[in-house]
């Protein structure tokens, strides 16, 4: 009888903890379900800078100033051409979804099927229901692995990245979002593959 009394007391102590675990597990599943309803898209590349030169309106070598052409020519010759892109992702949270707080976004940028660089979300942000939220990501890598030793090839590729030509380079972003919940941060179960 005493043994049964002790086991009942132990069960009463464990029950609240089990209930908390169950509720936090339910909250985590609800948050994951809410996050899975958020749609992420590769919106556009909104900025292209090569060796500090703005390439967003450069279609031809003649579009460059003499100084910028010299800087690019020197970078190509030296095989060191740092490229900086701003990739705008869009997160769209459905109207009937609760607000989602994006705490992390681990991403990998690919150009012509080659991994270029990995990064993350600069700071957490909220995805309000019924709104499309732009998430700008800065992508930086050396362009020399993707072009021949000519200014024309460099301009063709940067113009394509900027959306100035019909030719589109094969780019994609693989992203793993994480959302904050009452049960703690939850990571998306698999990478999203996003293309323009």
Joined tokens for residue 150: 């000519």
190 vs 176: CA distance, rounded Å = 7
46 vs 8: CA distance, rounded Å = 64
Residues in contact with 30: Cβ distance below 8 Å, sequence separation at least 6, in sequence order: 181
pTM here? 0.78
Per-residue pLDDT tens digits for 37-70? 788 999 999 999 999 999 999 999 999 999 999 9
Q: Is 53 helix (H, G, I), strand (E, B) or coil?
A: strand
CB 192 within 8 A of CB 176: yes
Residues in the chain: 196
Per-residue confidence (pLDDT) for residue 185, from 0 to 100:
77
Per-residue confidence (pLDDT) for residue 186, from 0 to 100:
83
Q: What percent of the chain has pLDDT over 70?
A: 80
Q: What percent of the chain has pLDDT over 90?
A: 56
pLDDT category of residue 98 using cuts at 50, 70 and 90: confident
Per-residue confidence (pLDDT) for residue 9, from 0 to 100:
53
- Residues pairing with 135 in the sheet: 89
Q: Is 143 helix (H, G, I), strand (E, B) or coil?
A: helix
Judge whether residue 32 has pLDDT over 70: no
């Amino acid at each position: 009888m005493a043994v049964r009394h002790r086991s009942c007391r132990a069960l009463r102590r464990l029950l609240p903890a089990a209930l908390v675990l169950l509720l936090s597990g339910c909250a985590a599943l609800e948050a994951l379900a809410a996050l899975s309803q958020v749609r992420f898209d590769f919106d556009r590349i909104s900025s292209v800078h090569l060796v500090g030169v703005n390439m967003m309106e450069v279609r031809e070598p003649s579009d460059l100033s003499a100084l910028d052409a010299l800087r690019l020519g020197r970078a190509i010759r030296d095989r060191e051409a740092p490229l900086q892109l701003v990739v705008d992702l869009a997160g769209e949270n459905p109207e009937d979804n609760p607000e989602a707080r994006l705490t992390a976004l681990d991403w990998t940028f690919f150009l012509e099927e080659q991994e270029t660089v990995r990064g993350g979300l600069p700071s957490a942000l909220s995805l309000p229901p019924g709104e499309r939220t732009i998430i700008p990501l800065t992508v930086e890598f050396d362009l020399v692995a993707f072009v021949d030793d000519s200014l024309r090839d460099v301009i063709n590729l940067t113009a394509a990245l900027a959306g100035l030509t019909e030719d589109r380079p094969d780019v994609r972003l693989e992203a793993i979002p994480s959302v904050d919940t009452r049960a703690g941060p939850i990571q998306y179960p698999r990478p999203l593959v996003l293309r323009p």
